[in-house]
Amino acid sequence: MPRNIQSDLGIQRNGKVCPELGNSSSPLQDSPKDRVGRRPRQKRDSKEMDSGCDASKRGKNNRRKGAQFERDLINYLRPVVDKIWRGYQNSYLRKDEPDVCFDMPGVGESFTVECKTGKAPNITKAMKQINGLVSWESSIKLVASKKTGTPMDETLITMELRSFHKLLCMVR
């Protein structure tokens, strides 16, 4: 068959002509919204479009917001805790560092804190991240999470039951 007649009949698949696939007047041809496995392209949030910044700047803003939350947490706890410090961030030599560390006076145990801030901080993911710190296994692990725009007093502190039990045994 000449090539133009094949195109009139339909699309050729595995050497066979399938008229229902290529004929635009065929009732069996699916429309783009009926296709399975493809999602229509979603529009970006108006907030992202109005912000006028690209993805690299949004990432930079998120890192800066997280670092500010860590500094605010340290300043909030400093009157109560003697020794408190931020872990080394973005260091290739010391990847095994929590966000904030402190020692409680009278308890004699170190605490490690993973800080998360954003619209909806993922506490479960943060707990897995802090449990992955090998060199800090003996410390009591906490997750500090705060929604964006809430005051520092409304920060949630989360700990696992074994860490809470360990803390109660030390205080006792």
Token pair 């698949």 is found at: 13
Token pair 């109560």 is found at: 80
Residues 117 and 132 sit within 8 Å (Cβ to Cβ): no
| Whole-number Å distance between alpha carbons of 59 and 29 | 43
Domains of the chain, first to last: 55-171 (3.40.1350)
pTM for this structure?
Answer: 0.63
Least confident window among 36-40, 43-47, 120-124, 152-156: 43-47
| Whole-number Å distance between alpha carbons of 98 and 89 | 8
At residue 9, does pLDDT exceed 60? no
The H-assigned helical ranges of 35-134 are: 46-51, 55-77, 123-131
| Kind and range of the H or E run holding 166 | helix 161-171
Q: How far is CA 12 from CA 31, 32, 35, 36, 96, in A?
A: 19, 20, 20, 21, 57
pLDDT in tens, 40-99: 666 655 554 445 567 677 788 888 899 999 999 999 999 988 889 998 776 566 667 889
